[in-house]
Structure 1
Amino acid sequence: MFARHLQKLLETSISYFPAVAVLGPRQVGKTTLVKTLLSTSEKEVIYLDLEYFADQNRLREPDLFFQANQDKVVVLDEIQRMPQLFPLLRSLIDQHRIPGRFVLLGSASPDLLKNSSETLAGRVVYLELAPLHLLEVEAQYNYRDHWIRGGFPDALQAPTEPIWQLWMDSFIQTYVQRDLPDLGLSAPASTVRNLLTMLAGIQGGQLNYSDIARSLDLSVSTVQNYISFLENAYLVRRLPPFFVNIGKRLVKAPKVFVRDSGLVHRLTGIDDFNALLGSVLLGASWEGYVVQQIVSRLAQNVTPYYYRTQNGAELDLLLVKGVKPVVALEIRYSNAPNLTRGNTQAIMDLSLEQTLIVTPEADGYWLRKDVRVCSITNVWEVLAESGVLA
């Protein structure tokens, strides 16, 4: 059992909003988090898992069921199974608006939860639960174990490597064969599996839809739709380039990451840390791991980008408030990093006051007056000082 960073915000949200939605990929710990929090609730809690026929049958007359339990906390797990409930929830909330009336758990973003954003606008707050963060597990696991296995609780806690492999294989198979089709992705399971494997193989690379389309024998628009779907299912992240009117020829394609590092490693056949050290994906995997850890902790008013020009100026991660870059990060799998000419040019282009180089274990020190070297364990203090963390 891990203490989740989201718990405090979730508790605050339930105390104010009539409906709170906790969204994230399957097996990430949404149900455990909500049940743990509500175990001390002064109100009676009714939990319905909409994947179970018995719980679905309890909602054969949903308006009567909800009205009979209007002063209780009703938890609807896997809400994407019954999107037709959203208009009814809106009406019920308007009739009897009290904090914490409904807690919704789902494995898809609001964009995939048909009509939810419109029907519950102003009545619901959406919270994303990401896979376990390094800071949530550091008392029990070091960054290497967390990096190689990823943040899904059951995968991270697997007692042996073979069991971790079996869990990841089952997770991937279930997602591509059942979960994604249930969410509305009408694509052959083999195609989705191949697409995920390709995206893992180009982890942190610029997304070239045409190349992927040719490899899969699909149209570019189809590939774009599939990747958008994977992003809305919290499996993939597209990191956009930062555009600013500085007269530079900027790269316009997003970078793509499979969010969970354990999923990256299993898709690409990297089964232990030694195999990772010998892999051509070592640097890309480290970048993806650090990006996921940082982005999942950002404040709502901070947007992540990367920066690259066609002349070679580049930075791996740029954290922006409004239109102003606050801090930039270059991610290196080295404890003795240096800046490249492209990094130096990017810092000049953006007039950055502080750039961080994130390494596995280097003690914090200043490489120069505006460039600071950090480790994955001490970078959080610096980011907190910069005001970019939630």
Structure 2
Amino acid sequence: MLNYTKYQKILGRTIEPALKRIARGFPVLLLTGMRQIGKSWLMEQLAGTGRRYVSLDDLRARALAKRDPERFIAENPPPCVYDEAQYAPELFTYIKIYADKQKKDGLFWLTGSQKYRLMQGIQESLAGRLAILNMLGLSYREKIARPFGGKPFLPARSLTRKNPLCAPLTPAELYKFIWQGSFPKLVTNKNTDRKVFYDSYIQSYIERDVKDFYNIESAINFYNFLVAAAARTGQLLNYNDLARDVHIDNRTAKLWLSVLERSGIVRLLYPYSSNLTSRVVKTPKLYFLDTGLAAYLCAWDSPDSLRNGAQSGAILETYVFAEILKSYWHNGDSPNIYFYRDQDQKEIDFVLEKNRTLYPIEVKKTAAPDSRDVRHFRTLERFKKNIGTGAVLCLYGQTIALPRQDALSVPVWEI
């Protein structure tokens, strides 16, 4: 069981060292990610007493930043944090002017939960002066209060020699973490009502980030679209089916899905391919980046109902995908991650590429992995690249080498 009291006392975010390191090499740093994942809290903690912190959620601060950005910077000079910077893109030109004049690194730290709105202004004004870090909700390591020391996940034989991150989880315990999701408020405060939290989150997201900025008139239609997308997490994306279920056209479905991507709610994963083969299916897969939100939208009202339901395999794959992303993004890195599926129905859930080596990964809801789970790994040889150690991410309690295969069985909680 998660010790909430202990966790609240030593709460840390894996991204902290990477943020500090990268900020030393750029005048402007942008930390972006979906709402309520802890960006503001982290920036306040890291700012300490030597860096100003200003939130543009404050309407007076926002009004000044939009009306007179030069004066706003003069009244809130670097080193500083401007939280929710998407509300005042007028600042970006003046941030550029200030940074070019001072010629120092670490001047401005920005956060934002609307990446598209941010990038519209930043790409023109701050190109070459800006480092961008993506942040997700709490990883499993962060949930159990061991945020530091982990590296970006990559299957390797050395994993069998490492001390396990924690005691093995039962399927019920694992699915409780998956069902709970990764929003800090739900993890650190056991008194937070989960239903009220997600109801409020969705309403705020649609009203503040969707209707106003994207001119989407029907909140109900967009909510229905959100539910339909959640029901497809971990699956190949079919725009026709998605549009038909919500009674919208394909163009609108693609537009609304791009809204979810820009908000950090979902991410599309594309198939691995090269010019050496024309048999790879080009359709992407859809993943929600918070499994708790996906489970709530799909009305799985308990961890057991989720674990025993029709979506249990897809939600486990979704969880693994998000944890792999966290292991990279929160260490200041970015994964080259894909999936594989061909017209012969040979599939590999994930393919990581590093240094022209392909690392195949399968996700299985099993505690007894065997050679059948890796039978398609050698299919990647058609790409004429090195094939690295593969992995079956599953519910077996420790990392072991699979017999007669260059592959490992790795517990999903050890990512």
After superposition, the Cα gap between the structure-2 partners of 1:223 and 1:355, relative to the gap in structure 1 and judged at 3 Å, is same
Larger mean Cα displacement after TM superposition, 240-249 or 223-232: 240-249
**Structure 1 unpaired stretches of 5+:** 381-390
Contact 1:325 1:352 in 2 (8 A): yes
Q: How does 1:41-120 map to 2 (within 5 A)?
A: 43=50, 45-59=51-65, 60-70=67-77, 72-110=78-116, 113-120=119-126
After superposition, the Cα gap between the structure-2 partners of 1:206 and 1:342, relative to the gap in structure 1 and judged at 3 Å, is farther
1:199 pairs, out of 205, 220, 229, with 229
Q: State the shift of 1:112 in Å.
A: 5.1
Contact 2:362 2:374 in 1 (8 A): no
Q: State the shift of 1:302 in Å.
A: 3.1
Q: State the shift of 1:6 in Å.
A: 0.8
Contact 1:24 1:108 in 2 (8 A): yes
For this pair of structures, how many residues does the alignment match?
373
User: Residue 299 of structure 2: SS of its match in structure 1?
Assistant: coil
After superposition, the Cα gap between the structure-2 partners of 1:252 and 1:187, relative to the gap in structure 1 and judged at 3 Å, is farther
Q: How does 1:220-299 map to 2 (within 5 A)?
A: 220-298=250-328
Instruction: Give distance in 1, aligned partners of 2:374 and 2:304.
Output: 31
User: Residue 335 of structure 1: SS of its match in structure 2?
Assistant: coil
Q: State the shift of 1:128 in Å.
A: 1.1
Q: What percent identity do the matched residue pairs reach?
A: 27
Instruction: Give distance in 2, aligned partners of 1:57 and 1:341.
Output: 57
Q: How does 1:295-334 map to 2 (within 5 A)?
A: 295-298=325-328, 300=333, 302-321=335-354, 324-334=356-366
User: Residue 270 of structure 1: SS of its match in structure 2?
Assistant: coil
- Measured against aligned partners, the alpha-carbon deviations of 1:313-366 in whole angstroms (never above 9, x if no partner) come to 1100111136x3431110011111232586356355456332100013432222
Q: State the shift of 1:213 in Å.
A: 1.7
- Measured against aligned partners, the alpha-carbon deviations of 1:188-214 in whole angstroms (never above 9, x if no partner) come to 211221111111111111111111122
Contact 2:26 2:130 in 1 (8 A): yes
Structure 2: which amino acid aligns with 1:123? Answer: R
2:19 pairs, out of 10, 13, 16, with 10
Q: State the shift of 1:68 in Å.
A: 4.9
Instruction: Give distance in 2, aligned partners of 1:185 and 1:256.
Output: 24
**Structure 2 unpaired stretches of 5+:** 1-7, 147-165, 167-172
Q: State the shift of 1:182 in Å.
A: 4.0
Matching of residue 123 in structure 1 with residue 129 in structure 2: yes
- Name 1:377's counterpart in structure 2: 413
- Name 1:386's counterpart in structure 2: none
Instruction: Give distance in 1, aligned partners of 2:280 and 2:22.
Output: 40
Q: State the shift of 1:27 in Å.
A: 0.3
After superposition, the Cα gap between the structure-2 partners of 1:226 and 1:287, relative to the gap in structure 1 and judged at 3 Å, is same
What's the C-alpha RMSD, in Å, of the aligned pairs?
2.3
- Measured against aligned partners, the alpha-carbon deviations of 1:245-300 in whole angstroms (never above 9, x if no partner) come to 34351111000011100001100111221111221000000000001100222273
Q: State the shift of 1:239 in Å.
A: 0.4
- Name 1:174's counterpart in structure 2: 204
Instruction: Give distance in 1, aligned partners of 2:238 and 2:145.
Output: 40
Contact 1:213 1:219 in 2 (8 A): yes
Contact 2:228 2:246 in 1 (8 A): no
1:152 pairs, out of 172, 183, 198, with 183
TM-score by length of 1: 0.88
Q: State the shift of 1:124 in Å.
A: 1.2
Larger mean Cα displacement after TM superposition, 344-353 or 227-236: 344-353
- Measured against aligned partners, the alpha-carbon deviations of 1:90-126 in whole angstroms (never above 9, x if no partner) come to 1222122322221111002256532212210111111
Instruction: Give distance in 2, aligned partners of 1:114 and 1:93.
Output: 19
After superposition, the Cα gap between the structure-2 partners of 1:344 and 1:97, relative to the gap in structure 1 and judged at 3 Å, is closer
After superposition, the Cα gap between the structure-2 partners of 1:117 and 1:360, relative to the gap in structure 1 and judged at 3 Å, is farther
- Measured against aligned partners, the alpha-carbon deviations of 1:10-50 in whole angstroms (never above 9, x if no partner) come to 112333321111101110000111111111x5x3x322221
